[in-house]
Amino acid sequence: MTSPGGSTEKRFLSSALSAYGSQFGRVLIRTAAELALARLIVPEGWGVFSLARAVTIVAALLRDSGTTYHLVRDRREPWGEVLAWVLSTGALISALLMLWPQPLAFFDPSLPEVMRWFGLWVFLDGVAVVPKVFFERRLAVRQLVAPEILRGALYATVAITLAALGHGVWSLVIGELAAAAFYAAAVWFRARGRIPLGCDPGRLPGLLRKSALLLLIALAAVPIPYVQRFFVAAYDSAGSEAVGFFDKAYEWGLRLQILILPAFLRVVYPALVEYRGDRRRLVDAYRLGTVTILALETLAAYFLFFNAEVVLVNILLGDQWPEAVPLLKILCFLPLVDPFTRLGGEVLKVREEDRLWLLIVLVNMASLLTFGFLLAAPFGAPGMAWANYLLLGNLVMAWRMAKICGPDFWHLLRELLFVYLVPLPAFALVAWAFPDGSWSRFAASVVAGALAAAVLILRFRAPVMGFFFAPAGHADKEASS
């Protein structure tokens, strides 16, 4: 399959490298900023902002109404209709959050006042949605790299400056608003004259109808990491302070997933759309992508578990965060329990199996709410952390991926077992030889991780490189080897 920009594989690889470059740049900047801000803003302030952020994430899903997900696979490419919808709903939802935030006081008395200003983020973020999706759909993510990195730099500059002046949680709010406004202007500058923005209002009802299930899927799937904060706020006696500890443990426990997955998903979905007529290439992309992601996440999980205190307190956040260490030890292995859902949702969207994907995320949300209540009520934040391991919808996803992949699914299982077990002996030896919380264990873990990474690279380098660079027929053979 070719296009003026080259084969799908070449554009997929180019866009993926650009996405990773952008993601690494943004995460590096934001991580440096958050390390500084963690020492300038108390955990309670972080907890309040985490709750506000969760509200805006859900609000942004309602604003988009699933249209941005459907836009990627819609051959008519209704850019103008989606833009009109997102801007109008974004303005309405932002106004609602800013004018009527009082119900949020149930979770924290200071949350409504923060929301009264941070609600504007929903509209500002929506302004950038269409040009961002346009470049991703074209597998031209490189056009977004500079705006995204500059956005992160602006956030860091504004937030750190204000926090150093003693403005607490408002430093985070103003930093996010300034960064969102800049990014919207920058991506539209890049997209000027490229996007056909003709709008036929008569097409909007059909667009919303086709996007409805994707909205429900997003509402059930995306808030899962965020709804937990509200359980912690409601049931942990420490309130917003406990939310702050949970937020940092979750963030760093899944840091590599946060770093890798968004960059990969923004290019893998458009690429899979182009493979929808070629089952062999679609399955190979899913299998090799899953193995690559899980290999990195497995190394990170072992390293964090055996060095949680040194990493989180001594290196990253400082002395006011020790209560986050046991939570980090619980959460760091979470990415390893749902390997098939990582890219499985993208496969189902490409195949337009929206109802099944909706069922999976609804079961996961129901599982989280049920087990979250049962475990958070008596045990607080640790109970909420353990509830993440009991998402039953992941079993349904595993079953469906087995059906789609056929014999390749068992190949994938063997590869994942290899990925999970290879680092274990080296890290177990390090844990036996060096005391917990010591710099000697940290240094030895670096060596153990490097050795395990070398083994994984030797094992998977050939099939991954073969998928991207070998001639089509040979690539299929290599990817299946």
428-440 per-position pLDDT tens digit: 999 999 999 899 9
Q: Summarize the confidence of residues 222-245 as an average pLDDT.
A: 80
Half-sphere exposure of 103 (CA within 13 A, CB side): 5
> Tens of pLDDT along 93-140?
999 999 999 888 888 888 999 999 999 999 999 999 999 989 887 767
- The two three-digit tokens of residue 305, written as one number: 């578990």
- The two three-digit tokens of residue 452, written as one number: 């395990």
- 270, burial (CB in 10 Å: exposed 0-12, middle 13-18, buried 19+): buried
> Tens of pLDDT along 59-92?
998 999 888 878 877 778 889 999 999 999 999 9
Q: What is the value of pTM for the model shown?
A: 0.68
- The two three-digit tokens of residue 397, written as one number: 């996803």
Q: Is the pLDDT of residue 481 over 60?
A: no
> Tens of pLDDT along 372-409?
999 998 998 899 999 999 999 999 999 999 998 999 99
Q: Is the pLDDT of residue 471 over 60?
A: no
* C-alpha to C-alpha distance for 475 and 288, rounded to whole angstroms: 12
State the chain's mean pLDDT as an integer.
84
Are 427 and 390 contacting, i.e. CB atoms less than 8 angstroms apart? no
Which residue's entry shows tokens 């063997």? 414
CB atoms within 10 A of CB 436: 11
Are 355 and 212 contacting, i.e. CB atoms less than 8 angstroms apart? no
- The two three-digit tokens of residue 346, written as one number: 């993208």
Which residue's entry shows tokens 């390997």? 339
Q: Summarize the confidence of residues 142-147 as an average pLDDT.
A: 83
Q: Is the pLDDT of residue 475 over 50?
A: no
Sign of CA dihedral 171, 45, 253, 262: negative
Longest CA–CA separation in the chain, Å: 69
Q: Residue 422's Cα: distance from chain center in Å? A: 26
Give a three-class secondary structure readout of the chain: CCCCCCCHHHHHHHHHHHHHHHHHHHHHHHHHHHHHHHHHCCHHHHHHHHHHHHHHHHHHHHHHCCHHHHHHHCCCCCHHHHHHHHHHHHHHHHHHHHHCCHHHHHCCCCHHHHHHHHCHHHHHHHHCHHHHHHHHHCCCCHHHHHHHHHHHHHHHHHHHHHHHCCCCHHHHHHHHHHHHHHHHHHHHHHHCCCCCCCCCHHHHHHHHHHHHHHHHHHHHHCCHHHHHHHHHHHHCCCCHHHHHHHHHHHHHHCHHHHHHHHHHHHHHHHHHHHCCCCHHHHHHHHHHHHHHHHHHHHHHHHHHHHCHHHHHHHHHHCCCCHHHHHHHHHHCCHHHHCCCHHHHHHHHHHCCCHHHHHHHHHHHHHHHHHHHHHHHHHHCHHHHHHHHHHCCHHHHHHHHHHHHHCHHHHHHHHHHHHHHHCCHHHHHHHHHHCCCCCHHHHHHHHHHHHHHHHHHHHHHHHHHHHHHHCCHHHHHHHHCC
Residue 248 pLDDT level (bands cut at 50, 70, 90): confident
Residue 441 pLDDT level (bands cut at 50, 70, 90): very high
Q: What is the pLDDT of residue 10?
A: 53
- The two three-digit tokens of residue 111, written as one number: 């949350």
Closest CA to 317 of 366, 411, 252: 252
Are 53 and 251 contacting, i.e. CB atoms less than 8 angstroms apart? no
Residues 6+ apart with CB under 8 A from 279: none
CB atoms within 10 A of CB 165: 10
Q: Is the pLDDT of residue 338 over 70?
A: yes
Q: What is the pLDDT of residue 1?
A: 40
- The two three-digit tokens of residue 418, written as one number: 């290899």
Q: At what angle do helices 43-64 and 224-235 cross, to 10 degrees?
A: 140
Are 223 and 363 contacting, i.e. CB atoms less than 8 angstroms apart? no
- The two three-digit tokens of residue 276, written as one number: 């929808």
Closest CA to 236 of 48, 49, 377: 377
Q: Is the pLDDT of residue 477 over 60?
A: no
Q: Is the pLDDT of residue 245 over 90?
A: no
- 406, burial (CB in 10 Å: exposed 0-12, middle 13-18, buried 19+): exposed
Q: Which amino acid is at 433?
A: A
- Percent of the chain residues topping a pLDDT of 90: 38
Q: What are the phi and psi torsion angles at 144 (to 5°)?
A: -100, -10
Residue 480 pLDDT level (bands cut at 50, 70, 90): very low
